[in-house]
Structure formats: C-alpha cells, structure tokens
Amino acid sequence: MIEHKGPAIIPPPLDENTGLAQLIEQHFLAYNAARLREGCLLWSRFMARPEVTLGLTLTGALTPAGLGAGCLVPLVRRGFVDFIISTGANLYHDAHFALGLSLHRSSPHVDDTQLRREGLVRIYDIVMDYEVLLKTDAFFREIMKAPEFDRVMGSAEFHMLAGRYLAERQRVLGLGDASLLAACAEMEVPVYTSSPGDSSIGMNAAAMALKGSQFAWDANRDVNETAALVLMAKRGGGKTGVVIMGGGSPKNFMLQTEPHLQEVLGIDEKGHDYFLQVTDARPDTGGLSGATPSEAVSWGKVDPAGLPHTVVCYVDSTVALPILASYLIQTQGSREPKRLYARRQEALDLLAREAKPA
C-alpha cells in the first residue's frame, strides 16, 4: 500500500544559524520546494555513490550567468559529473571566462537599439561588448588551424583539445579555475554537443571549412560513444543517472542512449536508474523539455524499477543548480573521479561486441 502521509509539516523557526542543508531538509516541504529537496537528496544519497555513472545535460545559456565557474567547475573537480552533453552556446560562452573577456550584470529592460549603437550584446540581463564575441571567434578559428584539429573527430575529442588550450590560456592570464571546458579536460570528463553546428563554435568551424580545413564533427561517433559509456557502466556492475538542466536536444541525446542500445542495437538493457530534471516546461505542450520520467519509461529510456528514484523540479535552472551543487558538496564533499575520456575506445569496443547484426 502506498503511504500517503509523510512526516508532519512542522518546520523549526529560521534563525541566523540555519544552514543550507537544514534549510533544504527542514523548510523545503511542499510544492516545487519539496521537489527540489527531493532532487538534492536523490543526487546526494543515490547518484553520488561511486558505482553510479552520472551524465549531466546543459541547455540554454547558463555559463554566461556564472554557473560554469561557480557551480559546474566545482562539481567536475569533485568527481560528481562523469560526462556532459551541452548546447554549443554554453561551451562557447564558457570560453570567454578563460580568455579574460568579461560579461556584466545588467537589466532585461534596457533599450536594445541603444545597446546595438553602443556595441553591446544582451543575454536577458547580462551584457557583453561585441568585441567579446569577435575575440572568442578568433580564438576558436586560431586553434582549429592547429594540425591536431585538421581531421574528422567526435565532439568529446574536440572539446578535450579546446579545453587544454583554454586551461593554458587561463593559467597564463592568472584567472584561476574559470572554465568548465578547461576543468573537464584536466579531469578527463568527456563533453559532447548534440547539435555542434548550432552555436558560434559551429559557425567558426563552418568558416574554416570554406578555407579548406578538413575539420568536421563525427556525429555517429558521438551517438555510439555516449551509449557505450552507459553500457560500460552497466556491464561493470554499476548504475547510471542523468541530471538534466532544462531540456531540448541535450536532454534527448542523453536519454536516447538507452533506446540506441535496446531498440537499434538489440542489446539487453532496461534504462537509466536515476533521473533528475530541472525544467520550466510543461509536458502537455509537446515540447521535449517537458517529457516526464514515466513517459520516458515507455521508450525504454528509464528503467521502470527506477521510477521511485526520479524527480522533476519545475524551477529555473539558475535557481536550482546552485542549491543542488551546494547541498551535494556540503553533504558529500567529493567522490573518486571516473576519468571516462580515456576509456571511450574501451566502451566502443564493448558496444561493438554486444551489438546485434543489422
């Protein structure tokens, strides 16, 4: 029988000594605050276990708001994220921080015509000089001239190479630990982009192709590689969890790893074990961002047995991510990094062995 009555709602009075963990556990008691508490507990108590391989997806423009350096880099450094699927925009804007190019707080109510005249670009209530874009574009075009980029490769390899350049640039400039891509390169966390042409990095790659560059992304490798990382985790006796910030293409790319294994490759699998999504989308409007965990079960994306370990928080990612990250760090500290980048070929070899003939 399902237990409908949980603990009584009797929170202690807030005072100057109330810490973050106490606030979440004792005061986030109903509505989306309760879902956020459940998400914090799910990640801390289950998905942070050493046997869980965790994939994180990033949608929208979170890095310009400082969430890269402030939240994501600490999570990567502490071993809580094993691989990432992101929009190209998040990774492009992440590069600004390693290049010493500043973004500034502003207002969503400014006159955009005036901003255009002043050479400023706006992302809601963030502004940057137009020169920030031009200098970042120039950086990516310059590194793509290097011989190691002049070939076809998966997006994880591209981001590893770019991350190493960014790590060196921020080191030389004395900027500290500012870049997500740099941290992922050093921690060997594979970073994928589900739609590599849909960003300024993609536009600069296209411009290089006009000049004869042989660089191109291998989308097939990315599809196989992400599914292979999931399979390797399961065959190694572990579990997999997904943390989804937003929705869109990165969300689907992460979740399609299981249908790729089961439906396309004919491999015996059941779906991801843990699922945490932060979204502001509704499931009834047809947007993928609002697709629920139970709907994902019907596709084989989530293990039916894992439904009790799924949480959807209808909260702005810029509100939820700092809370989730802070709670996880304060309650768990760190975990041993898996350094999956070096194991990608091992995972692909396993995938090839188990895939059924076409």
Query: What DSSP string describes 281-347?
Result: --GGGS-GGG--HHHHHHHTSB-GGGGGGEEEE-S-HHHHHHHHHHHHHHHH-------GGGGHHHH
Which helix or strand (DSSP H or E) is residue 274 part of?
strand 274-278
Q: How far apart are CA 317 and CA 289, in angstroms?
A: 13
CB 322 within 8 A of CB 281: no
Respond yes or no: is residue 145 known to be catalytic.
no
User: Which residue among the candidates 234, 239, 251, 301 is catalytic per the annotation?
Assistant: 301
CA distances from 355 to 213, 292, 301, 326, 341 (A): 34, 28, 18, 40, 22
Strand partners for 311: 276
Of 202, 266, 274, 260, which is closest to residue 226 (Cα–Cα)? 260
Q: Give the three-state DSSP class for 24.
A: helix
Strand pairing of 274-278 and 310-313?
A: parallel
CB 293 within 8 A of CB 307: yes
Strand pairing of 216-217 and 274-278?
A: unpaired
Strand pairing of 120-123 and 126-129?
A: antiparallel
Q: Give the three-state DSSP class for 195.
A: coil
> Beta-strand (E) ranges in 139-215?
152-153, 191-193
Neighbours of 42 (CB within 10 A): 21
Contacts of 164 (CB under 8 A, 6+ apart): 182, 185
Q: How far apart are CA 230 and CA 233, in angstroms?
A: 5
Q: How far apart are CA 215 and CA 129, in angstroms?
A: 29
Which residues are catalytic, by number?
301
